């Protein structure tokens, strides 16, 4: 059965374990359906919210699919922190459905709106006053004895880390088919520009503006002379080999959500993803302003040009 292309649909995902998320989700369900937009919910989340299909007009659509949840939806509205947004990306990655985050967390770098912005966010959705921004992702593959055993993706980062706290991980880093360095370390982080303000930032890596297409590599507590953060081209292929002779096992984490055990001898290849993640933008604030706002950076005393000062004060 083909859905009516003239019917507008929005997939709503919420961190239903939090009371404020449930409250905000219900506000959006009421507001969207009140404007004739069909709301789709995961069946389990609808149960947590205490609502059924016939409670709204148009009726709520329920789905149990985690691979096709956003089909025919113009966007996915996520209510929660960055973890909830990363979960939403997992559900919508195949369809590249735009994701709009309403932040209930702390920093919330992936989110575009705050929980106090329900009315203005709702208006922007109804009136289609938003833009989308494609962000680079990572394609991550794990090989054992030359055989592909796992293929996944990452929005923020793919990190290879030691499995045992007391035992160091020994790896060799390879870039574009050539060995670069061998490290005894706690791990290695490969991050996107989007993820440069997440694990990469905490590990001492550089912040990369979203408009820059590149990948970051950050060794974690590496015992080596050459163990600085690096930035490579988006066309590069990064490979991390877990040395077999050292006996140390590792674990691969993608966005801190999906884990793969790595025995000695495993090879992890990271390259630019075939599909981007598409984020919804409601504001045209430059990334510099986002950094200042999210991290509370001190900018008192800045003068700039008179025109730029007016834009900051007015905007």
Chain-centre distance of CA 172, in angstroms? 27
Specify the higher pLDDT residue, 252 or 116.
Answer: 252
pLDDT value of residue 1: 39
Pick the most confident of 66-75, 88-97, 170-179. Answer: 170-179
Instruction: Give the fold, CATH level 3, of 9-135.
Output: Rossmann fold (3.40.50)
Lowest mean pLDDT among 15-19, 263-267, 290-294, 308-312: 308-312
Task: Look up residue 235 and give its two tokens.
Answer: 């066309």
**Nearest Cα residue to 290 out of 199, 224, 214, 194:** 194
Lowest mean pLDDT among 113-117, 195-199, 233-237: 113-117
Q: Residue 294: which pLDDT band, with cuts at 50, 70 and 90?
A: confident
Specify the higher pLDDT residue, 3 or 80.
Answer: 80
Predicted confidence (pLDDT) at residue 312 exceeds the cutoff of 70 = no
> Domain residue spans in the chain?
9-135, 138-272
Predicted confidence (pLDDT) at residue 2 exceeds the cutoff of 90 = no
Q: Does domain 138-272 have CATH number 3.20.20.70?
A: no
Predicted confidence (pLDDT) at residue 3 exceeds the cutoff of 80 = no
pLDDT value of residue 121: 95
Give this prediction's pTM: 0.89
Catalytic residue, candidates 72, 82, 186, 255: 82
Q: Are 200 and 189 in contact (CB under 8 A)?
A: yes
82 is a catalytic site residue: yes
Q: What span, in angstroms and rounded, lies between the C-alpha atoms of 114 and 121? A: 9
pLDDT value of residue 200: 96
Q: What span, in angstroms and rounded, lies between the C-alpha atoms of 179 and 240? A: 9
Q: What span, in angstroms and rounded, lies between the C-alpha atoms of 168 and 171? A: 10
What value does the mean pLDDT of the chain take? 92
């Amino acid at each position: 059965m083909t859905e009516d292309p003239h019917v507008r649909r929005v997939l709503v995902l919420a961190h239903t374990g939090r009371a404020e998320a449930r409250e905000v989700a219900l506000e959006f369900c009421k507001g969207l359906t009140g404007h004739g937009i069909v709301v789709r919910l995961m069946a389990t989340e609808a149960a947590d919210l205490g609502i059924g299909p016939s409670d709204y007009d148009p009726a709520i659509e329920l789905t149990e699919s985690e691979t096709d949840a956003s089909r025919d939806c113009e966007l996915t509205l996520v209510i929660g922190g960055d973890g909830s947004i990363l979960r939403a990306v997992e559900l919508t990655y195949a369809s590249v459905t735009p994701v709009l985050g309403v932040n209930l967390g702390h920093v919330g770098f992936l989110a575009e709106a705050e929980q106090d912005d329900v009315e203005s966010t709702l208006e922007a959705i109804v009136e289609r006053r938003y833009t989308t921004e494609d962000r680079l992702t990572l394609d991550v593959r794990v090989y054992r004895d030359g055989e592909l055993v796992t293929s996944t993706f990452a929005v923020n980062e793919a990190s290879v880390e030691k499995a045992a706290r007391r035992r160091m991980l020994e790896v060799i880093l390879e870039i574009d088919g050539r060995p670069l360095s061998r490290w005894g370390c706690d791990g290695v982080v490969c991050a996107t520009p989007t993820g440069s303000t997440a694990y990469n930032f905490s590990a001492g890596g550089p912040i990369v503006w979203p408009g820059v297409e590149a990948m970051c590599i950050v060794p974690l507590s590496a015992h080596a002379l050459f163990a600085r953060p690096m930035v490579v081209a988006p066309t590069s292929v990064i490979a991390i080999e877990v040395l077999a002779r050292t006996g140390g096992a590792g674990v691969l984490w993608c966005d801190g959500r999906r884990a793969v055990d790595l025995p000695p001898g495993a090879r992890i290849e990271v390259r630019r993803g075939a599909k981007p993640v598409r984020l919804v933008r409601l504001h045209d604030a430059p990334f510099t302003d986002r950094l200042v706002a999210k991290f509370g950076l001190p900018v008192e005393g800045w003068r700039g040009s008179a025109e730029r000062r007016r834009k900051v004060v007015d905007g």
